[in-house]
Structure 1
Amino acid sequence: MENICLPKEFVEIINGTQQDKYNLQRFLGAQSNCYQQALQEIQGGQKRSHWIWFIFPQLAILGHSRNAKYYGISGYDEAEAYLNHPILGERLRVITKALLTHTDMDVVDIFGEIDAMKVCSCMTLFDAVSPDDVFQKVLDGFYKGQYDLKTLNYM
């Protein structure tokens, strides 16, 4: 077998030697039981179960519930670490792309009013970290290009 070159961060995760400065493991643990269900719900065009906090995370300061605070992102650096994580970043992009297949629908019909606001906050946060990524497309397609101003103010 030939040698395969893998990113250092990926090898460290596989080997369990990566330093988890932001406790990103909390997301992996939560997603392990329901990421596929969340993805299927988004692909079907309607969120039906409770996973918004750890699938579409937003800034912790915006949250009020225990889950919102626990799974909240502390700021730019943690959001960047989340996106650069080989599993979490990929999952966020995949489910965001799945959401984009429903731009003919109202985002409130997909998520409900409260969670639609959380998704806007999430997309604003990750677009600030990675502006040439998929997140702006969600803001354009569902929110008329409008960012969540509270997220921008706290960043």
Structure 2
Amino acid sequence: MAQDPYDLERFVAAQAPVFEQALAELRAGAKRSHWMWFVFPQLRGLGSSPMASFYGLSSLDEARAYLAHPVLGPRLARCVETVLGIEGRSLGEIFGTPDDMKFRSSMTLFARAAGEADSVFARALARYCDGAEDARTLALIGAG
């Protein structure tokens, strides 16, 4: 078995029973259940709950490993593409508060991890956040 220095399997295990439901909620244009932490992860230190801590990513390198993971990377991209396909709704309407802020934090982290100006994550920031990245995420990765 390949090494997993970041324990990314914690995300695979958490997503297993709910991923299709999460995708269906996104297709319907509104998140209804509790999966934000492990479908759109953000940096550890942004949230204070035990879930935010457990599913928080430790660094930009861990975010890169998440993107490179054969299950997690494609799932994340698929979810973001689904969000980009939602018409006429704001992040607040799609996710509610504070999950709208978590989405912005997650997109900021993964846009930086992807390192591509036209990544799906950068496109999500452009569409839903007027291109503005999350300042706290940038500060935690030393880019702000």
Using the size of structure 2 for normalisation, the TM-score is 0.94
* Alignment RMSD (CA, Å): 0.7
CA deviation after TM superposition for structure 1 residue 67, in Å: 0.3
Aligned residue in 2 for 1:153:
139
Q: 2:74 is aligned with what amino acid? A: E
User: Which residue of 61, 72, 94 maps to 1:88?
Assistant: 72
CA deviation after TM superposition for structure 1 residue 103, in Å: 4.7
Q: Secondary structure at the match of 1:47?
A: coil
How does 1:114-129 map onto structure 2 within 5 Å? Answer: 114-129=98-113
**Counterpart Cα distance in 1 of 2:30 and 2:88:** 13
**Counterpart Cα distance in 1 of 2:75 and 2:102:** 17
State, as a whole percentage, how many aligned pairs show the same letter: 45
Structure 2 residue 125 is the aligned partner of structure 1 residue 139 = yes
Q: Secondary structure at the match of 2:41?
A: coil
Using the size of structure 1 for normalisation, the TM-score is 0.88
Instruction: Give structure 1 stretches of 5+ with no counterpart.
Output: 1-16
Give aligned pairs, total: 139
Deviation per CA, 1:42-92: give whole Å up to 9, x if none. Answer: 011000000000000000111110000000000111000000001000000
CA deviation after TM superposition for structure 1 residue 143, in Å: 0.8
**Counterpart Cα distance in 2 of 1:140 and 1:85:** 25
How does 1:1-155 map onto structure 2 within 5 Å? Answer: 17-132=1-116, 133-155=119-141
Q: Secondary structure at the match of 1:62?
A: coil
Instruction: Give structure 2 stretches of 5+ with no counterpart.
Output: none
**Counterpart Cα distance in 2 of 1:122 and 1:78:** 13
**Counterpart Cα distance in 1 of 2:26 and 2:115:** 23
Deviating 4+ runs (over 6 angstroms): none
CA deviation after TM superposition for structure 1 residue 104, in Å: 2.4
CA deviation after TM superposition for structure 1 residue 41, in Å: 0.3
